[in-house]
Amino acid sequence: MVDKTLKYDGRRRGPRKATPERLEKAALFYLERYASSSENLRRVLMRRVEASARVHGTDREQGAEAVDAIVQRFLRAGLLDDGAFAEARAASLHRRGVSARGIRLKLGQKGVSEEDIDNALAALLETLDPEVEGDAEVQAAVNYARRRRIGPFRREKREEHRDRDLAALGRQGFSYDTARKVLEMDPPSLP
């Protein structure tokens, strides 16, 4: 892999100076690649400001003001929407088999407010199919078990691995009762 921090003559290239124009371009580039909350984008841009301050002596206060102005402008323009980000991320995490507790934690780490997290989890509950057996936690646990091929999705020696599978579900944030329900399910009919 090529080290992109080296110039052709072998000297290390440091971070560019964090001007408002460069910060805005960096923010747009970041949002092209990743969905983000406003607080997460603020953190990403502030890391650039900090690196620029260490290398170029950029004023941190001015950089923070520029970052705040960019985030506010993006919020007004609709490029950032914490509620929509939280709903989409919660649905994605649920499909991967993350518990409600895990979803709450991961969204909190991205800087999403408690109100937006609560709204996202409520919206997630509304979108779930009521015909599917169990509540949202059981559905997420089944998704996790399917993805990891544990519990009812294990092809052989289910009883030998019961404690290990129970521990894996517990580490994912599922309660003992939820994990036990999933492990006691009948194996799906495999083709």
Tens of pLDDT, residues 105-119: 999 999 999 999 999
pLDDT at residue 90 greater than cutoff 90:
yes
Percent above pLDDT 70 for the chain: 89
Write out the residue range of the structural domain in which residue 43 sits: 20-77
Say if residues 52 and 18 touch (Cβ distance below 8 Å): yes
Q: In this structure, what DSSP letter does residue 6 have? A: B
Determine how many CB atoms are found less than 10 A away from the CB of residue 104.
20
Quick check: is 3 in a domain? no
Same domain for 86 and 65, yes or no, is: no
Q: What is the rounded distance in angstroms from the CA atom of residue 111 to the CA atom of residue 61?
A: 21
Same domain for 50 and 64, yes or no, is: yes
The per-residue pLDDT for 6 is 53
Helix (H), strand (E) at residue 32: helix 20-33
Confidence tier at 187 by pLDDT (50, 70, 90): confident
The per-residue pLDDT for 63 is 93
Helix (H), strand (E) at residue 31: helix 20-33
Split into its structural domains, the chain has a count of 3
Percent above pLDDT 90 for the chain: 56
Quick check: is 189 in a domain? no
Same domain for 99 and 64, yes or no, is: no
